[in-house]
Structure 1
Amino acid sequence: MSFLTRYDEDRSRPPFLAALRDAAVRALLPSVLVFAAVVGIGLLIVGPLHRLGTAENGVNRWFASWRTPLWNEVTHWMSTIGNTEYVIGVGVLVALLVWWRTREWWFAVVPLIAISLQATWFVLAAWIVGRPRPEVEKLDPAPPTSSYPSGHVGASSALYFSFALMATRIGNPVLRRLAVLVGAVVPFVVTFARLYRGMHHVSDVVVGMLNGIGCVLLSWNYLRREPRGSGH
């Protein structure tokens, strides 16, 4: 069965408890490995590789050097896309819309699973690693020791990359390409904004995005599916 078309090849309705078990076994448990990788990389960065932070501060200073009032305002809105309340609100709204259009709740919950996993591991990793933020003026309020990994980038990656995968099922080719493009681009928009606004080091946003991507892949694959003709 193709990874991308798994929800088209088997559109049967799973029992709720079976889907819940699949989510635990096929998404939650494997995502612990994603969490371990995120924490492991973070501890290396603040430990043996601490000089990396010095080098990365140069990138942040470069971004800060060409700030303008216009870009300060633009990046404010670009950064807002990754806010927790925004991500949750958009995720729930789209999940309800997809459920209404497809009548497939097990498909509609994919982005909600992804952002839930990402948020859980982000909060724990930020607490364990406790990396200070870049040594530049910050344009957003935030706790001083939660730079790693980027929660904004992780959340937007989990949400919008999920949307990009879901959009591959849209029948209209123009709308499908547009939806996939938007889903693929938005996390990079948030990444740029967080670096510009001095909120994260480069490695923070890179690992934040990888955290989101890992959770997306596990969430998309959370439900056992069988190809047509397999007797499912």
Structure 2
Amino acid sequence: MAFLTRYVDDDSRPTVGSALRDIVVRAVLPAIALWLVIVGIGKLIEGPLGGLEGESSINKSLQAGRTATWDAVTMVWSHIGNTEIVIGVCVVMVALIWWLTKQWWVAIIPAIAIAIQATVFVLATAVTGRDRPQVEHLDPAPPTSSYPSGHVGASTALYLTLAAMCQRIPNKGLRYVLTVICLVIPLLVAYARLYRGMHHLTDVLVGFLNGIVCAFLAWNYLRRRRKA
């Protein structure tokens, strides 16, 4: 059974109880290990690595190259990763996928991904205290640590799961276009957060790590049977 087609290869309906159990065992518990890794990296950056001061040159270079046009463009890209936007897109997509597939256990995958990502992010920022880059911030700075990037983590978790779901689209051209869009969006968010002075490079990279792993855990949350 291929990873991306696991819900097509086995479309059996789970009980709510078994699905909840699988979420805990196969998604929530592994996410604890992810949180430990992210916190460990954060503590290394705060301590032995001395904040990775060399990263500041990236933020300063991007600040020096700012233009009114790119300020406007990156504002839109940055907003794509905002909590309210991510949640809104997720709710719409869960409802749409549920309606199209009649499979609630598949439709909830994006919600699982962003819920786990958000939990790991919030708990990680609670025990790390990295300051924002020392450049002009073009977005309001939320009262959380700069590390890791929640915008990048949330958009990555959401759009990777949607990219996986796009593989069920029978029209090859449409499948390709939508998959590429879903994969590009987190990259645009990441660039915008760097350009707008909201994160260091490692904040963004660990945000990707958080989002990718949470998307994997969400997609893999339900036990499926291999075809004979």
TM-score by length of structure 1 reads 0.96
Q: CA deviation at 1:179?
A: 1.2
- Classify 1:101/1:107 alpha carbon distance in 2 versus 1 (closer, same or farther; 3 Å): same
- Letter matched to residue 187 of structure 1: P
Query: Matched residues in 2 for 1:79 and 1:202: separation?
Result: 15
CA deviation digits over 1:61-101, x for unaligned, max 9?
A: 00000101111111000000000000001001001000000
**Are 2:85 and 1:86 equivalent residues in the alignment?**
yes
CA deviation digits over 1:195-228, x for unaligned, max 9?
A: 0000000000000011000000011000000123
Superposed counterparts of 1:174-189, under 5 Å: 174-189=173-188
Q: What is aligned with 1:228?
A: 227
- Letter matched to residue 223 of structure 1: L
Q: What is aligned with 2:141?
A: 142
Contact map agreement 1:161 1:216 (CA 8 A) in 2: yes
Contact map agreement 1:122 1:151 (CA 8 A) in 2: yes
Contact map agreement 1:132 1:144 (CA 8 A) in 2: no
CA deviation digits over 1:122-164, x for unaligned, max 9?
A: 0111111110000100001114651000000000000001111
Q: What is aligned with 1:12?
A: 12
Superposed counterparts of 1:43-192, under 5 Å: 43-52=43-52, 54-143=53-142, 146-192=145-191
Q: What is aligned with 2:28?
A: 28
Query: Matched residues in 1 for 2:4 and 2:123: separation?
Result: 30
- Classify 1:105/1:92 alpha carbon distance in 2 versus 1 (closer, same or farther; 3 Å): same
Query: Matched residues in 1 for 2:93 and 2:66: separation?
Result: 34
Query: Matched residues in 1 for 2:104 and 2:51: separation?
Result: 47
Query: Matched residues in 1 for 2:124 and 2:43: separation?
Result: 10
TM-score by length of structure 2 reads 0.98
- Letter matched to residue 71 of structure 1: W
Q: CA deviation at 1:121?
A: 0.7
Query: Matched residues in 1 for 2:161 and 2:5: separation?
Result: 14
Q: What is aligned with 2:2?
A: 2
Query: Matched residues in 1 for 2:20 and 2:143: separation?
Result: 37
Query: Structure 1 residue runs of 4+, over 3 Å off?
Result: none
**What is the alpha-carbon root mean square deviation over aligned residues?**
0.9
Gaps of 5+ in 1: none
Query: Matched residues in 2 for 1:98 and 1:223: separation?
Result: 17
Query: Matched residues in 2 for 1:63 and 1:49: separation?
Result: 23
Q: What is aligned with 1:217?
A: 216
Query: Matched residues in 1 for 2:84 and 2:51: separation?
Result: 34
Query: Matched residues in 2 for 1:145 and 1:48: separation?
Result: 22
- Letter matched to residue 18 of structure 1: S
- Letter matched to residue 7 of structure 2: Y
Gaps of 5+ in 2: none
Contact map agreement 1:132 1:145 (CA 8 A) in 2: no
Q: Secondary structure at the match of 1:132?
A: coil
Query: Matched residues in 2 for 1:168 and 1:174: separation?
Result: 11
Q: CA deviation at 1:4?
A: 1.3
